[in-house]
Every structure is written in C-alpha cells, then in structure tokens.
Amino acid sequence: MFDRRLVQYFDWGLFGLSVVIGCIGLATLYSAVTAEAPAPQKILFFKQLIWFAIGLAAMVVSFMFNYKLLDRWAQSIYTICILLLICVLVFGKYIGGSKRWLILGPISIQPSELVKIAVIAVLARYFSKDAYTRGFTLRELIRPFILTMIPILLIVKQPDLGTAMVIVLIAGTMTVFVKIERRSLISLIVSCSIIIPMIWFFLKEYQKQRILVFLDPDRDPLGAGYHIIQSKIAIGSGMIGGKGFLKGTQNALSFLPEEHTDFIFSVLAEEWGFLGSIVLILLFLVLIFWGLNIAIACREPFGTILAVGITAMIFWQVFINIGMAMGLMPVVGVPLPFISYGGSSALTIAIGIGLLLNVSMRRFLLE
C-alpha cells in the first residue's frame, strides 16, 4: 500500500524551511517571555515547545494519508469545526474580554484557528468541481459565500476580528484565484460600493468609532496608537545590526503589549536589526513561493486550489502581522506563523504545512 516513491518525493526543502523558521520563532519567543516584566513567563516557552512537538506529529499525520481523501472528508471536518465554534460560544471561557477558548483539561484550544483549514478544504472541494476558465458566476458563488460566512459570524461573535478577517481574505483569495465571471465581478463591485456606505449609515456611533480607530490607530493615542508607536520605536531602534539576543529594551520593559503574540516581530526586529528582520521576511517569501510552486506542480484542481488556500493563509498572516508591527496595517490580533506564541495557531500552521507536503509528495501519483 505504502509507495516507496512517496519517500523519494518527500519535500525536504519545505520541511527544512519550516523547521528553520520554527527555530527562529522559538528563540524570539524565549527572548520575549524571559524579559517580560514583572515576572518572566518562561513557562510559556516550554508550553510552546510542547505545542511544536504536537504540531510536528500533526504535520506527519497530515501528509501520511492521500490528500484526495480530504475531498471526501472536507464536509465532515467543516461540520465538526462549526460545532466546536458553537461550543466556544456556549461553554467557552472569557479571557481578556472575549470568548475564544475551549478548555479541555490541561489544554485550551482555539477552534477559530483550526476552522481556517476546514474552510480552505471545503472551498477547495467546491471550486475544484466544474471549474471553467470563464470563472464562477454570482449564483455559483452563493454556496461558498454561505460556507465562509457561517464560521465568520461565529468568530465575530466571540469576538476575534483578526481571525475573522484572515478567513475573509483566504476565501477572497481563493475565489479570485478560481476567477469570478466578468459580468458577475462587475455587478459584485457595483453592489458592494452601494451597500458598504449604507451599512456605515446604520452603524451606531461607538461602532463607527471602533472602525475608525481600527483604520487609523492615531485616533486612540492611549491604546492602539500608543502600541504602534512603541512597536515602531522597538523595530527602528534595532537599526541595522540589532541590539543582540535578549538585549531588547522595549520588550524588557514590557512596553510592547502582547509582545509574545501580536507584536513578536518587534522583539525580533529590535534584537536582530535590519539584517535579522530581512532574513526572516525573505524566509517567509521563499516559503510562500514554495507553496505556490507546489500548487503549480500539482496537476489536479483540488490539490492546486488546496495548496493556494494554505499558502494564502500563511501569506495574509505574515503580511498583516508584520505590517501591523511596522505601522502599515490596522492593529488587529493576527499571529505570525511559526513565531507568535499560541498552541492552536502553531497546530494550524503545522497542519497546513503537512497538507502542502502531502500535495507535493503525491504530485506524480496521479491517474
């Protein structure tokens, strides 16, 4: 049953790349949690180490089976994930003003992370059937639209706007990739440009305020605006060579909020400077291109679209997270793949990489 060619075609490059970025992530996390005031939280580092081990196992599982089975399982996986999201709203625990976690004994998981994979799988399944070069019409897009909106509404309710936004972007990228039929695209753009201002009109004052702060952090100089300033100071102060490992001061003074999750790039940029930052950014670029290359090499629509979806997830998270830390993006909690602290996030990325490996190593096993 097990084909020897699979070992032969195993994508060591992608695997190695992931391990390298993962190690950079662990080192940065170590620095972030060690310096954290008032009390260092080294425990977080060891927790993350365990999550990486779990992630590695999940990655192996994700490439062991033939990814085409996913085509069959996608619906069930999606349904389970939606049920988990409903569980979060019912049984979830409030931490810091939102309900995102399901506590299962010693571990807490964030189903909104895992649901990304489910959405990618279920959309890949839909888009790979009857795909024509003219693209999908509005009528054909209703089903994927509903499939995307269900988890998004459940996640917005938590609320976890960052994850919701990433899912919208992933689904959007996949849809654009399989092409929207031209007339449908035009009517879509026209109706959006009419509806969006109308929604604005119906929003309450505090909701408008929140969106304005989101788009322009300077409007909230005591909250988001201040975080951005501190993050920019941290990054900039790294200069070309960086201050050195564990020598970052902004991080040490815990002026960076959420330094081990959302603002972890600032920690890295401060300690490793321009040289370190550019290495990380280039590694991400290579990883993303690698993923897209797998999509090209796969000669079958489901695998191609799946690989594009996973790569889109990595791309958007990298871009939003680093862009936010540098003051290019709204302040929104999106984890940096492999680097930010967080078990569910690490697990999701590991599964994603596992699926990319899966598609890659089975590229010659068609027909």
Partner 1 sequence: MFGEALIKYLKTADSEWYKQRIISIMICILAVFVILFVRLIYLQVINGEELRRLSLNNSIRLQSIDPPRGRVYDRNGKILVDNRPSFDVSIILKDAQPVEQTIEKLSEYIQVAASDLMSTIMHTRDFSSYKPILLKQDIGRNALAALEVHKHDLPGVGVKVNLRRNYITNQHAAHLIGYLSEINSDELKSGDYPECRSGDLIGKFGAEKTYDSLLRGKRGGRQVEVNANGQVVRVLKTVTSIPGHNIFLTLDQDVQKKSEELLEGVAGAVVAMEPTSGRILALASGPTFDQNAFVGGISREKWASLISNPFRPMANRAIQGEYPPGSTYKIITALAGLEEGVIDEETIFECPGFYRFGNRVYRCWKKGGHGKVDIIKALAESCDVFFYQVGQKLGVDRLAWYAKASGLGSATGIHLDHEASGLIPTAAWKQKRTGIPWQEGETLSVAIGQGFNLATPLQMAVFTSAVANGGKRYKPLILEAIKTLDGRLLHEETLRVIGKLPVGEKTLDLVKEGLWQVVNSEKGTARRIRLSRIQISGKTGTSQVISRKDDEEIAEENIAAHLKSHAWFVAYAPSDAPRIAVSVVVEHGEHGSGAAAPIAKEIIKTYLRSYKSRTQLVAQKIDKKGNRPREISKDILRD
Residue 322 in the binding site for partner 1 (CB under 8 A): yes
Residue 323 in the binding site for partner 1 (CB under 8 A): yes
Please work out the total of residues on this chain that contact partner 1, with binding judged by CB under 8 A.
58
Gap between the Cα atoms of 251 and 337, Å rounded: 20
* Comparison of 195 and 365: residue with beta carbon closer to partner 1: 365
Residue 236 in the binding site for partner 1 (CB under 8 A): yes
Residue 245 in the binding site for partner 1 (CB under 8 A): no
Cα separation values, 85 from 198, 304, 333, Å: 30, 28, 18
The only residue of 77, 226, 258, 279 in contact with partner 1, by rule CB under 8 A: 226
Q: Which residues of 123-150 are buried (b: 16+ CB within 10 A; e: fewer)?
A: bbbbbbeebeeebbbeebbeebeebbee
| C-beta atoms surrounding 245 within 10 Å | 14
> Which pair of structure tokens corresponds to residue 294?
């797998």
* Comparison of 133 and 194: residue with beta carbon closer to partner 1: 133
Decide if 287 contacts 21 (C-beta within 8 A).
Answer: yes
Which one of 61-69, 147-155, 287-295, 348-356 is the stretch in contact with partner 1 (CB under 8 A)?
287-295
The only residue of 15, 185, 232, 246 in contact with partner 1, by rule CB under 8 A: 232
Cα separation values, 282 from 10, 260, 265, 287, Å: 23, 21, 14, 8
- Range 193-196 contact pairs with CB under 8 angstroms and sequence separation of 24 or more: none
In the complex, minimum distance from the CB of residue 97 to partner 1, in angstroms, rounded to a whole number: 7
- The dihedrals phi and psi of 109, each to the nearest 5 degrees, come to -120, 155
Which one of 10-18, 76-84, 162-170, 171-179 is the stretch in contact with partner 1 (CB under 8 A)?
171-179
Q: Radius of gyration over alpha carbons of the chain, in Å?
A: 21
Gap between the Cα atoms of 363 and 303, Å rounded: 9
The only residue of 235, 310, 332, 347 in contact with partner 1, by rule CB under 8 A: 235
Instruction: Return the amino acid letter for 230.
Output: Q
Residue 221 in the binding site for partner 1 (CB under 8 A): yes
Residue 9 in the binding site for partner 1 (CB under 8 A): no
Which one of 46-54, 72-80, 130-138, 339-347 is the stretch in contact with partner 1 (CB under 8 A)?
130-138
Q: Which residues of 248-274 are buried (b: 16+ CB within 10 A; e: fewer)?
A: bebbbeebbeebbbbbbbbbbbbbbbe
Which one of 72-80, 84-92, 162-170, 276-284 is the stretch in contact with partner 1 (CB under 8 A)?
276-284
Residue 240 in the binding site for partner 1 (CB under 8 A): yes
- Report the DSSP beta bridge partners of residue 94: 99
Residue 213 in the binding site for partner 1 (CB under 8 A): no
Residue 55 in the binding site for partner 1 (CB under 8 A): no
Gap between the Cα atoms of 356 and 293, Å rounded: 10
> Which pair of structure tokens corresponds to residue 306?
């799946």
Which residue do the tokens 């996608």 mark? Answer: 74
In the complex, minimum distance from the CB of residue 343 to partner 1, in angstroms, rounded to a whole number: 22
Residue 151 in the binding site for partner 1 (CB under 8 A): no
* Comparison of 238 and 342: residue with beta carbon closer to partner 1: 238
Chain residues in the site for partner 1 (CB under 8 A): 37-38, 94, 97, 131-134, 173, 177-179, 218, 221-222, 225-226, 229-230, 232-240, 249-250, 253-255, 269-270, 273-274, 277-278, 281, 285, 288-289, 292, 295-296, 299-301, 304, 308, 315, 319, 322-323, 326-328
